[in-house]
Amino acid sequence: MEIEDLQTNDDFNLIVTNSKKLEKLYNEDKLTTQKLTIIRNKLNNISKKYEEDSTVLNYWYLLLEQQALINLINNDTDGFEKFYMEAAAAKPVDCDFASEIAKNWENKLDETNKAPRIVLSVFTKHKKLLLALVVLLVIFSWQPIADLITISSASQTMIKLANDAGMSRQGELVFLRTHPKEISDSEIATACALDQSQNGYVEQGCYSATTHQIFLRQMPKELHDVEVVTAAHEMLHAAYTSDSTLNKALEDEYTSIDNSDLNARIAEYNKLEPGAEFNELHSIMGTEYANLPSNLESSYSPYFIDRSKVTSAGTNVTNLFNNDEQRLHQLNSQIDQLNKNAQTAYKYSVNWANYGNQYENTYNYNIYSNDIDQENSLIDQYNTLLGQYQILVAEYNGEALSAITNVTSQ
């Protein structure tokens, strides 16, 4: 029996069949690490279907049973016992485990925990009460189980973004429950069509309240911090709930900042999504402003274990561009000065030549020649750096837009 026979289907009978196939492969010692990984991935695919579906609680114990079997195969008895006990708690009283391994384990526990007859009589008498308690146990343990599946089934890329942004477990869960996805420039123009600005730039990401999904523009390695900030920004959109106290705190801080760039951004958002300024301010303040009043900090604390990580990421991006721009302007000034010096030396050289002073002519011409060599060297540095800068601008904006132009060698 090949591993490909296992099916990812939410039909009850097929889930039972999967457990029996898993046990058979284990008993026949045909499970390699690679096959086990495939099984685990398929099990996660099935589990994800149930994450927010309360109508399938009767199936859940079978999925936990399969997780227990996988831990047993990995020689992790503690993991097996943990998942088995969770499966036993979730299993309806009139249902059976699918695998003989789990059934035998259940029988052993029954024998170990066997009580006097009078206790069994009480158990039978109050069967309905016990069933109600079991249902309550499943209900109260459902969310932690769903949270574990959310994290275990998430891609490492998204988990890294959450960690790099300093998200807390709650923030990470808010982020991962939206099934965040990296997409290309062309894809994000469609996925985030309602959020596209009128300035011709491509949006870095968006959160769809309708589909409850986050889309992130895939960035190159050197602009990873852009994705970090965007991930946290969109997570806060998913977490935001309009509250008069929070909105007042956001408005007060926005007024006190009085930043022209921020004012322009909020004006742009008001055109795209009228009435959503507080939602947008909530995401901007939480990811781009390091020092906030205590009332605002406390509103972000559930979602970040270290909010400075995301604000530092934003600063890193700003510095990346600012440092290049400053260096380009510095090189441009040096080039201009060398060019002026060279032209002056050349003028002196010509004048001394006309006077017949060969020594001064040669001396000033050498200064001119040396200045031109230095100027051309700096021009090469300038153009190389400019090329790198324009690539960054193109990658950030989705197109190459720059007011700085190339310089021609002398």
Tens digits of residue pLDDT in 5-32: 444 444 566 666 767 776 676 676 666 6
- Which is higher by pLDDT, 208 or 122? 208
The tokens 């300024």 sit on which residue? 277
Same domain, yes or no: 364 and 387: yes
In a domain, 38, yes or no: yes
7-11: long-range contacts at Cβ-Cβ below 8 A with a sequence spacing of 24 or more?
A: 8/42, 8/45, 8/46, 9/46, 10/46, 10/49, 10/50, 10/56, 10/59
What mean pLDDT is predicted for residues 295-315?
Answer: 93
Total domains in the fold of the chain: 3
Check whether residue 145 and residue 192 sit in a common domain: no
Query: Which strands form 181-183's sheet, in the order they lie side by side?
Result: 181-183, 213-217, 205-208
The model's pLDDT over 249-292, given as tens digits with 9 standing for 90+, comes to 999 999 998 888 888 888 888 887 777 889 999 999 999 999 89
User: Which residue segment(s) compose the domain that 245 sits in?
Assistant: 156-306
Amino acid sitting at position 244? S
410 in any annotated domain: no
300/288 same-domain check:
yes
Domain final position from 96, 129, 152: 152
Question: pLDDT tens for residues 94-105?
Answer: 777 777 877 887
Boundary residue ending a domain (306, 338, 361): 306
Domain-embedded: residue 391: yes
Residue with tokens 């996925």: 191
- Assess if residue 115 is contained within a domain: yes
CA distances to 31, 47, 165, 168, 184 from 175, rounded to whole Å, are 35, 19, 11, 10, 20
Same domain, 137 and 35: yes
Q: Is residue 125 part of a domain?
A: yes
**DSSP bridge partners of 208:** 213
Question: For residue 296, what pLDDT band results from cuts at 50, 70 and 90?
Answer: very high
Domain boundary among 87, 120, 152: 152
Does residue 334 share a domain with residue 291? no
Do 167 and 288 lie in a common domain? yes
DSSP string, 293-339: -HHHHHHHTTTBS-THHHHHHHHHHHHHHHHHHHHHHHHHHHHHHHH
Q: Which amino acid, residue 72? A: L
Question: Is there a single domain that holds both residue 234 and residue 301?
Answer: yes
Residues 165 and 294 in one domain: yes
DSSP state of 178: T
Report yes or no on 408 lying in a domain.
Answer: no
Q: Exposed (0-12), middle (13-18) or buried (19+): which is 298, by Cβ within 10 Å?
A: exposed
| pLDDT single digits (tens) 218-236 | 888 888 999 999 999 999 9
Give the residue-averaged pLDDT of 357-383. Answer: 89
Residue 362 resides in a domain: yes
